[in-house]
Amino acid sequence: RYDHPLLEDILKGTNGIILYQEQVMQIVNIMAGFSLSQADLLRRAISKKNPEVIQQQRKAFVEGCLKNNIDKRIADKIFNLIEYFSNYGFNKSHSAAYALISFRTAYLKAHYPVEFMAALLTSERENTDKVAQYIEESSRMGIDILPPDANESFAHFTVVGKAIRFGLAAVKNVGSGAIDSIVEARKSHGKFENLYDFTEHVDLRLVNRKVIESLIKCGAMDSFNLHRSQMIAMLDHALEVAGVLQKDRISGQYSLFDNFEADDKFKSHFQQVPDLKEWPESQLLSFEKQLLGFYISSHPLARYEKSLRLYASSTTQTLGQLHDGDEVSIGGIITKAKFTFTKRAGEKMAILRLEDLKGTVEVLVFPRSFKNAEKNIREDLIVFVKGRVNLREDTPKIIAEEILPLEEARRKYTQALSIELITTGLEKDTLARLREVFTRHKGDTPVYINFTTPDKKKLQMAAGRAVSVLPSDELITEVEKLTGEGSVGIWV
């Protein structure tokens, strides 16, 4: 009567059997005549450990079994097993399933790392936080992430040799219809030569001004070898010309422009490029962050790399190597700021996401520190955070004690500037050039020069008040050009 392997095992009293959610649904469907939707109600009640609903379903299950001529004693026994299973079985079955998934994904990541990361990026393309996290992981694995390109990219992230090309679907304002049109035009026409060529061959009903503007601003048209500022200035004219051409082609009307399509002199005259400088780097990066969710061509912190190295005691990458409660100083850019209130006293606090050149970390600014730090908490501000590391959860966090903008941190934390100078004698030329650099960067910070003589003796000389400086990345860069990379130190 019960010609089903699973039911037979249960009725025989097989010990140690692990049930899966789908099998529970099969049991109640076969024995009690539950519909699949009704069986799913029981499944959800079991997974959420809802005893009231489980007891309601017990009554329905037993009644269903009786209608199918199944003894009440057997029905109760089966449901007792299902109920017992709800206390432990899902944990075991889920553990087994997740273990299998973990093994498979680990294998793919180890043996097909580029393909694996491309698929992972594609699966989370609408979650900018996840995309940023996986791009960081790709960089750690030595995999380059190439920026989006109208001539190279498809909808999804794709493998290009040992690198990954950014997918167009991850660009804000660029929908699937527009992407299909771009890819189709590329297949039939070939790679686009310039902005006019692009607007002429894509379907402007799908690839509208907002789409093209987004592609330009995020860098997807940099292969046209023009400034992004120039392409934005040309866009309206390119759309106007392409609109006329496309309407004429649809109506079958002959166009004057078609006659000159292969004439390079005509094209160069007609498609004039305005003489414009590129936007400032900060604006370029701001557009990238706005449209992609993060920076891809550069990083706003790149120019402050020396200060971050000299003033920070740790990076986001090395926080996990500290001990819980250790003091830490870390510099970065605030990429997200959430203001909230404590549950107990209703005092204002903030939760920040701080990004440095190595990754991101969550910073908790509790009420005691928040009062003084509030004026320095805003997105896109470059700051130094002093506090203590918290390692009580899976990922390190920082409990902030002080937050200062970069320039203010330099002034407050810098006690003196030291320069290591390895010399065979006091080269007058080097010292004279150093003096010139100090003069261009006048300030209140004293300078000390450390000499290492040929016989390995260490000598230190104070440069004097007349050559006190204002610390900056520009100063450090100029000094290190004269004295060598890494020769400048900061006393804090």
Mean pLDDT to the nearest integer, 372-379: 94
* Residue 116 clears pLDDT 70, i.e. is over it: yes
What is the mean pLDDT of the segment spanning 391-396?
Answer: 90
Confidence of residue 1 (pLDDT cuts 50, 70, 90): very low
Would the pLDDT of 220 be above 50?
yes
pLDDT at 255: 54
Q: Which residues pair with 352 in a beta bridge?
A: 337, 363
pLDDT of residue 14: 45
Residue among 74, 70, 96 nearest 17 (CA): 96
Asked whether residue 50 carries a pLDDT value surpassing 60, the answer given is: yes
In DSSP notation, 152-213 reads T--SS-EEETTEEEPPGGGSTT--HHHHHHHHHHHHHH-S--SHHHHHHHS-TTTS-HHHHH
State the chain's mean pLDDT as an integer: 86
Selected residue with higher pLDDT from 16 and 280? 280
- What would the pLDDT profile of 403-452 be if each residue is shown by its tens digit? 999 888 888 888 888 888 766 555 667 888 888 898 899 888 899 888 87
Q: According to the model, what pLDDT value does residue 122 have?
A: 92
Tell me, what's the pLDDT at 381?
93
Integer Cα distance of 393 and 100 in angstroms? 25
Strands (DSSP E) contained in 222-323 are none
Written as one letter, the residue type at 140 is: R
Q: How far is 148 from 93, CA to CA, in rounded Å?
A: 41
Residue 272 CB burial class (10 angstroms; 0-12, 13-18, ≥19): exposed
**Is residue 18 pLDDT above 50, yes or no?**
no
- Average pLDDT estimate for 37-61: 85
Q: What is the chain's Cα-based Rg?
A: 33
Residue 26 confidence (pLDDT)? 84
- The per-residue DSSP string of 373-417 comes to HGGG--TT-EEEEEEEEE-SSSS-EEEEEEEEEHHHHHHHH--EE
Q: Which two tokens stand for residue 473?
A: 């990345």
Whether the predicted pLDDT of 20 surpasses 60:
no
Top-confidence residue, 240 or 261: 240
Q: Is the pLDDT of residue 19 over 60?
A: no
In this structure, how many other beta carbons lie within 10 angstroms of the beta carbon of residue 227?
18
Q: Where are the alpha helices (DSSP H) in 323-373?
A: 367-373
pLDDT at 261 over 60: no
Give the residue with greater pLDDT, 386 vs 477.
386
Contact 364, 400 (CB under 8 A): yes
Nearest alpha carbon to residue 42 among 103, 108, 86: 86
Model confidence over 133-186: pLDDT tens digits?
A: 888 889 889 999 999 999 999 999 999 999 999 999 989 999 999 999 999 999
- Structure confidence at residue 265 (pLDDT): 46
Range in 97-111, 202-216, 361-375, 405-419 the model is least confident about: 405-419
- The Cα 243–Cα 247 span in angstroms is 6
Q: How confident is the model at residue 391 (pLDDT cuts 50, 70, 90)?
A: very high
Strand partners, 389: 398
Return the pLDDT at 149: 96
pLDDT of 25 strictly over 90: no
Return the SS3 of 470: coil
Percentage of the chain modeled with pLDDT above 90: 47
Task: Give me the pLDDT at residue 432, please.
Answer: 84
